[in-house]
């Protein structure tokens, strides 16, 4: 393994954290003690391993190793297809609260990024942050034009720290997959790359600003949903300036007497807004927890913090719609077909076993009215089945699952009688009608036709390439024999029959020659006084009987 020398100190910190929380055997099996000459006395660590569960100890390791590992743990809390349920629970507990960084550093970052002094940019700037997290913190400020704004400033050096840790993880994951058999089944390399991309997107505040603008366009004609405006002239990759909203956090709705009586209305608006984003637009807020939702005067709903946004392609949205319709109709084959077309199933998956598990899932919800179906439980069950069959769920679908689970929890806290599935049914019917509209059918037929024509157009070139490989002797073929014994038996039978035929042919030729010689009176002198015909017949007959006996005894005639 190619280990960079500048990573040595961090590797020792990782090994130390593993040992301290009872995972010294993991560091030992991965060879970290040997690679870095770590003291063997470290193996005596992990006094808390008898008190805490292994899932709790994993959480403590991640918290000790800092923001990169905490963020990866939080993001992996959506991966029910690869992580056990008890680990998922602990990943959701990971704390992202850290002490705020100083106002001096805030000033330096803003002035460097916006190329002007703080006083020139803002009429006032609150030095005490409204919120602080591992990536950045938010300050209240006011522009010279009078608008109130929220200014998010990225923590100093956090991008370099995260990139550094990601480099180390890209070295550690292949090492773990080679040395630990149980790790290789989880495809951690692919998962790490997906989570790394999400983290790098979150580090770029212009990406978050573009996400806010996309979702704002979805609700430009909806007076009940508000998305804060982005001030692009005061936004860079490390500073994000958005409209400040005076509202009540959804989690503190009990404190507003005016809004307390409108909780059902707020819950329905939230569900309809999320379903519109997911099923109609294909771009959705992936973390709609109470801290990211505000209720404005008039029970209007506002989304904030767009660092985590999911994207569904048109094809994925089409199959997701098929999945939801099949689930509503309790159609097992339809569910399985949608799952396969989403590209979630590998070649080694036992489809019969998968369909049986999906059928049991269907039976579980078959007799329940839609209002009593828990979307959270259904998603959990579907992800559990995926994990059981080693089906890898695309990142955007795991974000969707997380968003739906969060949405149901928030909705239940507002009004337990509001059913997401009930509210989703009109969307499903609308999408079903749109799917069979003539222009949509024509569009799909045209797309399928062009793809088929494109494939056929490439066929001559591909055949030419295969022909060249055959002529050059470079074509490699792999033949798999599921059962070699029947083939060997057949080869024995063929070879024995050929041997038998050759012996009989030889015998016939010799006997014909002798008979011809006897009939012409030209027998050789040394055969005149011998009963050649009789002796030859006896010997040849004995040889034939012996050969037949040997072949029949082997049972391979």
Domain range list for the chain: 97-244, 253-436, 443-473, 485-554
Q: How confident is the model at residue 109 (pLDDT cuts 50, 70, 90)?
A: very high
Question: Which bin fits 244, alpha (ψ -120 to 50), beta or left (φ > 0)?
Answer: beta
Highest mean pLDDT among 190-194, 209-213, 296-300: 209-213
Highest mean pLDDT among 221-235, 379-393, 456-470: 221-235
CA 136 to chain centre: 28
d(C-alpha 82, C-alpha 103), whole Å: 42
Decide if pLDDT at 48 tops 60.
no
pLDDT value at position 230? Answer: 97
Q: How confident is the model at residue 55 (pLDDT cuts 50, 70, 90)?
A: confident
- Range with the poorest average pLDDT among 86-95, 347-356, 375-384, 472-481: 472-481
Of 284, 343, 279, 286, nearest in space to 317 by CA: 279
Of 201, 208, 199, 113, nearest in space to 162 by CA: 199
d(C-alpha 243, C-alpha 228), whole Å: 5
More confident of the two residues 265 and 496: 265
Question: How crowded is the C-beta side of 460, counted as CA atoms within 13 Å?
Answer: 2
pLDDT value at position 526? Answer: 46
More confident of the two residues 158 and 173: 158
18 token code pair = 């593993």
Residues of the chain above pLDDT 70, percent? 67
Q: How confident is the model at residue 536 (pLDDT cuts 50, 70, 90)?
A: low
pLDDT value at position 518? Answer: 59
Decide if pLDDT at 163 tops 50.
yes
Catalytic residue of the set 81, 165, 287, 305? 287
Q: How confident is the model at residue 548 (pLDDT cuts 50, 70, 90)?
A: low
Q: How confident is the model at residue 7 (pLDDT cuts 50, 70, 90)?
A: confident
Q: How confident is the model at residue 533 (pLDDT cuts 50, 70, 90)?
A: low
Q: How confident is the model at residue 187 (pLDDT cuts 50, 70, 90)?
A: low
Looking at residues 290-317, what average pLDDT do you find?
88
pLDDT value at position 375? Answer: 67
Q: How confident is the model at residue 116 (pLDDT cuts 50, 70, 90)?
A: very high
More confident of the two residues 175 and 541: 175
Looking at residues 176-190, what average pLDDT do you find?
70
249 token code pair = 């956090």
Of 556, 421, 413, 392, nearest in space to 489 by CA: 556
Per DSSP, which regions of 2-133 are E strands?
122-125, 131-132
User: Dmax over Cα atoms in the chain, in whole Å?
Assistant: 137
121 token code pair = 């940019």
Q: In what order do the strands lie in the sheet with 300-303?
A: 225-226, 300-303, 293-296, 248-249
74 token code pair = 């939080």
d(C-alpha 240, C-alpha 247), whole Å: 20
- Range with the poorest average pLDDT among 148-157, 209-218, 335-344: 335-344
pLDDT value at position 141? Answer: 97
Backbone angles phi, psi at 276, to 5 degrees: -65, -45
Its pTM stands at 0.70
Is 81 known to be catalytic? no
pLDDT value at position 183? Answer: 66
Residues of the chain above pLDDT 90, percent? 21
More confident of the two residues 322 and 310: 310
DSSP state of 230: B
Of 92, 184, 183, nearest in space to 380 by CA: 92
Decide if pLDDT at 340 tops 70.
no
């Amino acid at each position: 393994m190619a280990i960079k020398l500048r990573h040595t100190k961090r590797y020792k910190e990782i090994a130390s954290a593993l040992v301290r929380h009872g995972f010294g055997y993991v560091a030992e099996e991965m060879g970290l003690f040997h690679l870095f000459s770590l003291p063997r006395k470290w193996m005596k660590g992990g006094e808390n391993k008898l008190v805490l569960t292994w899932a709790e100890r994993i959480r403590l390791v991640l918290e000790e190793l800092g923001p990169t590992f905490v963020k990866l743990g939080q993001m992996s809390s959506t991966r029910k297809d690869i992580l056990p349920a008890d680990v998922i629970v602990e990943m959701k507990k990971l704390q992202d609260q850290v002490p705020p960084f100083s106002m001096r550093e805030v000033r330096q970052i803003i002035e460097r990024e916006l190329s002007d002094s703080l006083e020139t940019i803002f009429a006032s700037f609150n030095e005490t942050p409204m919120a602080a997290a591992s990536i950045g913190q938010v300050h209240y400020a006011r522009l010279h034009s009078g608008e109130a704004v929220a200014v998010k400033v990225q923590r100093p050096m956090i991008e370099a720290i995260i990139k550094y840790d990601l480099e180390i993880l890209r070295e550690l994951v292949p090492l773990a997959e080679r040395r630990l058999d149980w790790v290789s089944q989880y495809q951690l390399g692919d998962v790490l790359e997906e989570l790394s991309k999400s983290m790098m997107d979150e580090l770029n505040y212009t990406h978050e600003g573009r996400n806010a603008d996309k979702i704002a366009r979805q609700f430009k004609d909806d007076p009940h949903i508000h998305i804060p405006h982005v001030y692009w002239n005061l936004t860079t990759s490390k500073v994000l300036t958005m409209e400040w909203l005076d509202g009540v956090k959804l989690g503190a709705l009990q404190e507003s007497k005016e809004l307390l009586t409108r909780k059902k209305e707020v819950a329905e608006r939230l569900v309809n807004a999320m379903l519109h984003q997911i099923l109609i637009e294909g771009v959705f807020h992936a973390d709609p927890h109470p801290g990211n939702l505000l209720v404005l005067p008039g029970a209007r709903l506002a989304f904030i913090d767009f660092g985590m946004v999911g994207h569904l392609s048109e094809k994925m949205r089409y199959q997701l719609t098929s999945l939801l319709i099949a689930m509503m109709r309790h159609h097992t084959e339809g569910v399985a077909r949608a799952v396969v077309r989403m590209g979630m199933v590998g070649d080694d998956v036992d489809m019969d076993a998968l369909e049986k598990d999906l059928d049991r899932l269907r039976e579980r919800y078959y007799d329940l009215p839609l209002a009593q179906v828990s979307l959270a439980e259904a998603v959990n069950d579907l992800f559990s089945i995926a994990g059981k069959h080693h089906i890898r769920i695309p990142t955007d679908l795991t974000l969707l699952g997380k968003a739906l689970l969060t949405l149901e929890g928030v909705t239940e806290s507002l009004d337990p009688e509001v059913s997401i599935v009930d509210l989703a049914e009109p969307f499903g019917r609308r999408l079903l009608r749109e799917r069979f509209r003539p222009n949509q059918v024509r569009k799909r037929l045209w797309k399928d036709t062009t793809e088929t024509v494109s494939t056929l157009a490439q066929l001559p070139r591909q055949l030419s390439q295969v022909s060249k490989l055959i002529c050059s002797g470079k074509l490699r073929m792999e033949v798999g024999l599921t059962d070699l014994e029947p083939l060997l038996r057949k080869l024995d039978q063929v070879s024995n029959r050929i041997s038998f035929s050759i012996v009989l042919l030889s015998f016939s030729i010799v006997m014909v020659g002798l008979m011809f010689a006897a009939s012409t009176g030209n027998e050789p002198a040394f055969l005149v006084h011998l009963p050649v015909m009789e002796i030859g017949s006896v010997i040849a007959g004995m040889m034939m009987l012996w050969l037949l006996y040997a072949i029949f005894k082997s049972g391979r005639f």
